[in-house]
Amino acid sequence: MTILEVQNIRKKFGEKTVHDGLNLSVQQGEILSLFGGSGTGKSVFLRSLIGLERVDSGSILYRGKQIQNLTETELFEIRKNIAYVFQNGALFDSMTVAENLAYPLIEHTNLSDNEMREKIDSMLSLIGLEGSQTLLPASLSGGMQKRVGLARSIILEPELILYDEPTAGLDPQNTKNLLEIMAKLRKMGKTGIFVTHDIPAALEVSDRIAILNNRRIHIVESVENIKKSTDPVVKAFIEGSVG
Ligand SMILES: Nc1ncnc2c1ncn2[C@@H]1O[C@H](COP(=O)(O)OP(=O)(O)O)[C@@H](O)[C@H]1O
Ligand SMILES: [Mg+2]
């Protein structure tokens, strides 16, 4: 089932066209990785999906519902279902881990303190940071902070998760931890769009790969087909000469 359908979108900043005739559909439950050189519009694309950027033309359908013309109030609802895991998902320094995680719950839900506590505990267990409720972010390693940032982004239990270079700057062990969490979330039925320069990681966790090139999706194929593709753009990515 298609959860997200992007049709022929066009996006300009001033004279600069970032997307032109970009099409992509995402199936429920899959992880689709998105490759593209720096500055090709991957983050702008993800931001467009939750209305943080307005496209100039074309349409974005989330579960069949047009999102590009929604009001802020309507987008607020959509953003409970679509999480954006930021490149630098900064935590609030003066708040504990639990307070950081409680923040979206307080903003968006009417859960009781007990229900919030339970949800926070289960998120911490998902990210392998049980017992860190009362710690301040400064006392966590960078990799742990990233995981808490991810937990905060998904604590409202979205069904679609937009990962914007979540492993950038992480060492191999922390990258592995994060990829394992992504795989767990996929098992739980969450759909993911994974923007990354880490091609081997993407090939490992994804169902399909899309490549953004020349302002549109150049190709979208299964991991298997991408690996054996003879397309020069694909080969450049897979062989690591671009990205
Ligand atoms: N708010 C903005 N105003 C003007 N230009 C922008 C804005 N946001 C992004 N851009 C430009 O759009 C292009 C794509 O940016 P981005 O999506 O961040 O690239 P990346 O693929 O590296 O994530 C870049 O050239 C960037 O400078
Ligand atoms: Mg980016």
Q: Domain segments of the chain: what residues?
A: 2-90+158-238
State if residue 36 touches ligand 1 by the CB under 6 angstroms criterion.
yes
Secondary-structure class of domain 2-90+158-238 per CATH: alpha beta
User: In this predicted model, what pLDDT tens digit does every residue of 174-226 receive, in sequence order?
Assistant: 999 999 999 999 999 999 999 999 999 999 999 999 999 999 999 999 999 99
Q: Evaluate if pTM is beyond 0.85.
A: yes
Distance CA 217, CA 211 (A): 6
The pLDDT confidence band at residue 243, using thresholds 50, 70 and 90, is very low
Does residue 19 register a pLDDT over 90? yes
CA 235 / ligand 1 centre spacing (Å)? 25
Task: Give me the pLDDT at residue 127, please.
Answer: 96
Does residue 242 register a pLDDT over 90? no
User: In this predicted model, what pLDDT tens digit does every residue of 55-102 receive, in sequence order?
Assistant: 999 999 999 999 988 999 999 889 889 999 976 668 999 999 999 999
Neighbours of ion ligand 2 (CB under 5 A): 42-43
